[in-house]
A = this chain, B = another copy of it.
C-alpha cells in the first residue's frame, strides 16, 4: 500500500517476554495471524542459534502460505576475527530460506569494546563483511543497529560510521534500536533527523516501552523520516515490552491517514490480538489501546444518553475500524449480522428472522459474560446455533447420568487417572471405564468407549489439543476455568469450549461438545 514497512518481531523479540514460551506450532499459528493482519514482514526467529527456530523456518517453507508478508530471519554479524562465508551462524541464515535477513550489529562504541571485546574497526568490518556476503547470496538485508540511541549519545561519529558501513555494503534498511528503552520522543526525533541528514540510509525504528513511550517514540521517528517500523503484537517483549505494533499501525493509519494495511484487515485487529493471546497464553490486557476489551467501554451514568445520541462526542475514533465495539465488554461477537453470516455458512437463511437472531445473540452474550469464548470455539457455537434453529432433539445423541475421575499417586510414582462414565445411548444404559495419564484423557477414553456400541463412528476421533485459561486470577483455583479442546477426525479438526468453577467439569463440557459435533459433522443420525 505505502512504502512504509510494517515489520513484526513478535516471534523473535516478543518471545523474550518473561513467562512467554512458544513452540514451533505456536509460532506457525501466530505467523498466519500476522499475515492475515497484513504486516509486511514477519521476523520468525534466529535460525542456527536455537534448534526450535531452525525448525520453524524449515516447516514454514511448507506449512505457511503467506499472502502478504515476507518472512525475515534474524541473526548477528559474523564472529570477531572470522569471515562471514565460513561462519556457521551466518550460513544458517542463508539456509533458512528466508529472502530477508535482519542482522543485529553493534553501533555503540562502549558495547563494542566492553561487551563484544573487539576494536571499533573490526566491528565495522564485521558489518561490511556479513552484509556483503548475504547480498552476494541474493538476500535482502536489514540491519538492526543495537543500542543505537545510547551509542549516539556517547559517540555520535562511530554510531554514524556503523550506519554508513551497513548501507555501503548493501543493507536496504538500518533500524535504529532503543534497545534499553530509555528514550523520550523528542530525543528520538532529533537523532533520526540527524542520522537521515548525515547518511544516505533508509531508516527504521525499534522501540521498547521502558519510559512508557514506545508508541510515541515510534511515531516520532516516522514523523522525522523513518520508513520502517518494528514492533510486536500486544506489545510483547522483554522487560516492559516492545512498541505495540497494533497501536502504532492504528495511530498511523487512523490518525495520520497513512495506508499501511488494507482497511478490511485492520478491522480484524481486535480478533487477531485476542487469538494470538490465546496462543501465547498471556491474558489479554483489557486497557490495551484500540483492541483492549475496555478500550471503548464506557461506565454507564452521566453520559449514557448523550453517548446514545452522539457517540462521536465520547470516543476518539470509530471502534469498528479496528474491529472493536463500544459495547465490547458485553460480547466479543459483532452482533446479529455475524450470526446471520455464520448461519448462511452453515446453510441456514436467517436473514428475516430477527426474533431468532436476537435470541441467539442474547444467549451468546450471556455465555460470554460467564467466560465462554466462541471466537476460538467454532464448533460449540455451531452446536448452539443448530439447537436454536433445528431444535434440541436432533443433537441429543446420548444422555449423561454421571461421571467420575480419580487421580492418585504413591510417593514418587507417576500419577494415574481412571474415569467412569455412565450414559444412555442407542436405548442402552452403558457404564464404561477409561484410564489415562491425565484426568481429561481418562474421561475422553471412558466417554468414547461408552458411546462406541451405539456410535462406532467415534472410534476414529482423537483429542489433539487442550488449553486452559483461568479467567479471574484474583481468586486462584476458586476462579472460573475455561477449557478449549480440539478434536480431530483424521482429516479436519474442530474446537469446543467449556467453562466451570471446576477445571474437570469445564473439560467434560468441552469433551461432550467435541464428540457431539463429530457426530453432527459426519451426518450420523440420533440412535
A393-411 vs B, CB cutoff 8 Å, 1 = contact: the mask equals 0000000111111111111
Cα–Cα, bound, A254→B382 (Å): 48
Chain A interface residue count: which class?
A: 35 or more
Contact A402 B407 (CB under 8 A): no
CB-contact partner of A115 in B216, B306, B408, B465, under 8 A: B306
Contact B299 A238 (CB under 8 A): yes
Pick the interface stretch among A54-62, A197-205, A289-297, A451-459.
A289-297
Contact B313 A111 (CB under 8 A): yes
Cα–Cα, bound, A23→B441 (Å): 29
Contact A410 B401 (CB under 8 A): yes
Residue A239 interfacial (CB < 8 Å)? yes
Known: A251-B212, A471-B23. A240 touches B501 (CB 8 A): no
Known: A212-B289, A408-B404, A505-B415. A181 touches B436 (CB 8 A): no
| CB closest residue in chain B, given A255 | B184
Known: A185-B220, A403-B408, A505-B415. A473 touches B464 (CB 8 A): yes
Contact A402 B411 (CB under 8 A): yes
Residue A325 interfacial (CB < 8 Å)? no
Contact A404 B402 (CB under 8 A): no
CB-contact partner of A415 in B223, B313, B478, B502, under 8 A: B502
User: How far is the CB of A282 from the nearest CB of chain B, in Å?
Assistant: 9
Residue A503 interfacial (CB < 8 Å)? yes
CB neighbours of A217 from chain B (8 A): 216
Contact A502 B407 (CB under 8 A): yes
Residue A317 interfacial (CB < 8 Å)? yes
| CB closest residue in chain B, given A293 | B18
Cα–Cα, bound, A173→B409 (Å): 61
A446-489 vs B, CB cutoff 8 Å, 1 = contact: the mask equals 00000000000000001111111111111111110100101000
CB-contact partner of A209 in B19, B21, B289, under 8 A: B289
A223-266 vs B, CB cutoff 8 Å, 1 = contact: the mask equals 10000000000010011110010011001000100000000000
Residue A210 interfacial (CB < 8 Å)? yes
Contact B289 A240 (CB under 8 A): yes
User: How far is the CB of A30 from the nearest CB of chain B, in Å?
Assistant: 13
User: How far is the CB of A403 from the nearest CB of chain B, in Å?
Assistant: 6
Cα–Cα, bound, A464→B410 (Å): 27
Known: A297-B239, A478-B437. A110 touches B313 (CB 8 A): yes
CB neighbours of A436 from chain B (8 A): 477-478
User: How far is the CB of A150 from the nearest CB of chain B, in Å?
Assistant: 8
Residue A348 interfacial (CB < 8 Å)? no
CB-contact partner of A239 in B185, B287, B303, B416, under 8 A: B287
Residue A281 interfacial (CB < 8 Å)? yes
Residue A171 interfacial (CB < 8 Å)? no
CB-contact partner of A375 in B19, B417, B484, under 8 A: B19
Known: A402-B409, A464-B476, A502-B439. A18 touches B286 (CB 8 A): yes
Contact A502 B437 (CB under 8 A): yes
Contact A317 B212 (CB under 8 A): no
CB-contact partner of A439 in B289, B316, B407, B410, under 8 A: B407
Contact B185 A185 (CB under 8 A): yes
Residue A527 interfacial (CB < 8 Å)? no
Known: A211-B289, A244-B212, A296-B239. A407 touches B281 (CB 8 A): no
CB-contact partner of A216 in B212, B316, B476, under 8 A: B212
CB neighbours of A26 from chain B (8 A): 473
CB-contact partner of A211 in B186, B316, B441, under 8 A: B316
Contact A241 B287 (CB under 8 A): yes
CB neighbours of A219 from chain B (8 A): 184-185, 213
CB neighbours of A502 from chain B (8 A): 407, 414-417, 437-439
Cα–Cα, bound, A411→B303 (Å): 41
User: How far is the CB of A465 from the nearest CB of chain B, in Å?
Assistant: 5
Cα–Cα, bound, A207→B436 (Å): 46
Cα–Cα, bound, A406→B407 (Å): 7
CB neighbours of A376 from chain B (8 A): 18-19
| CB closest residue in chain B, given A482 | B21
Which A-B residue pairs are the 7 nearest by beta carbons?
A182-B316, A216-B216, A404-B408, A212-B215, A415-B505, A441-B477, A19-B376
What would 10 A/B residue contacts be, using CB atoms closer than 8 Å? A18-B329, A21-B373, A239-B292, A240-B294, A405-B406, A407-B439, A438-B502, A438-B503, A468-B468, A503-B503
If A211-B255, A468-B470 are given as contacts, then 7 extra A-B residue pairs at C-beta distance below 8 Å, sorted by A number, are A19-B376, A185-B219, A212-B247, A216-B216, A402-B408, A409-B508, A503-B503
Residues of A at the B interface (CB closer than 8 Å) are 16-19, 21, 23, 25-26, 110-111, 114-115, 147, 180-182, 184-186, 209-217, 219-220, 223, 235, 238-241, 244, 247-248, 251, 255, 281, 283, 285-290, 292-300, 303, 306, 309-310, 313-317, 329, 373, 375-376, 400-411, 414-417, 436-441, 444, 462-479, 481, 484, 486, 500-505, 508
